Amino acid sequence: MAKKTVKDISVANKRVLVRVDFNVPMDRETNAITDDSRIREALPTIKYLLDQKAKVILCSHMGRPKGPNPKESLAPTAKRLGELLGKPVQMAKDCIGPEVEAAAKSLAPGAVLMLENVRFHPQEEKNDPAFAKSLASLAEVYVDDAFGSAHRAHASTEGVTKDLPSVAGFLMEKELKFLLGAVTNPDRPMAAVVGGAKVSDKLAMLEHMADRVDAMMVGGGMCATFFKARGYEVGTSLLEPEMMAKAAAVEAKAKKRGIPLLLPVDVAIGDKFAADANAKTVAPNAVSPGWMILDIGPKTVELFANELKRQKTVVWNGPMGVFEMPKFAAGTEGVAKAVASLKATTIVGGGSTAEAIHKLGLASKISHVSTGGGAALELLEGKTLPGVAALMDK
Which domains are assigned to the chain? 6-171 (3.40.50.1260), 178-380 (3.40.50.1260)
* Cα 377 to Cα 58: distance, rounded to the nearest angstrom: 26
- In this structure, the number of other CB atoms found within 10 A of the CB of residue 332 comes to 29
Of 135 and 207, more confident: 135
List, for residues 355-382, the tens digit of each pLDDT value.
889 889 999 999 999 887 778 778 777 7
* Cis amide linkage into residue 189, ω under 30° from 0: yes
User: Which pLDDT band, with edges at 50, 70 and 90, does 263 fall under?
Assistant: very high
Tens of pLDDT, residue by residue over 116-164, are 999 999 999 999 999 999 999 999 999 999 998 998 999 999 999 999 9
Q: Is the peptide bond before 260 cis (omega within 30 degrees of 0)?
A: no
Q: What is the C-alpha to C-alpha distance for residues 381 and 373, in angstroms, rounded to an integer? A: 12
Convert the pLDDT of each residue in 293-348 to its tens digit. 999 999 999 999 999 999 999 999 999 999 999 999 999 999 999 999 999 999 99
Can you give the pLDDT at residue 371? 80
> Under DSSP, is residue 98 helix (H, G, I), strand (E, B) or coil?
helix
pLDDT at 25: 85
Q: Which of 172-181, 244-253, 368-377 comes out lowest in average pLDDT?
A: 368-377
pLDDT confidence of residue 1: 60
Q: What pLDDT shows up at residue 378?
A: 80
Helix, strand, coil shares, percent, the chain, to 5: 40, 15, 45
What positions carry a catalytic annotation? 38, 198, 351, 374
pLDDT at 349 exceeding the cut of 90: no
Helix axes 351-359, 373-380, angle to 10 degrees: 120
What's 115's DSSP letter? Answer: P
CA angle 255, 368, 144 (to 5 degrees): 115
Q: Which range among 1-5, 35-39, 178-182, 354-358 shows the weakest confidence by mean pLDDT?
A: 178-182
State how far the Cα of 335 lies from the Cα of 300, in Å rounded to an integer: 9
- What pLDDT was estimated at residue 254? 93
Q: What is the pLDDT of residues 41-95, one digit of tens each?
A: 999 999 999 999 999 999 999 999 989 998 899 999 999 999 999 999 999 999 9
**Residue 280 in this model has a pLDDT that exceeds 90:** yes
Closest CA to 370 of 178, 143, 149: 178
Query: Could you give the CA distance from residue 104 to residue 16 in angstroms, rounded to a whole number?
Result: 10
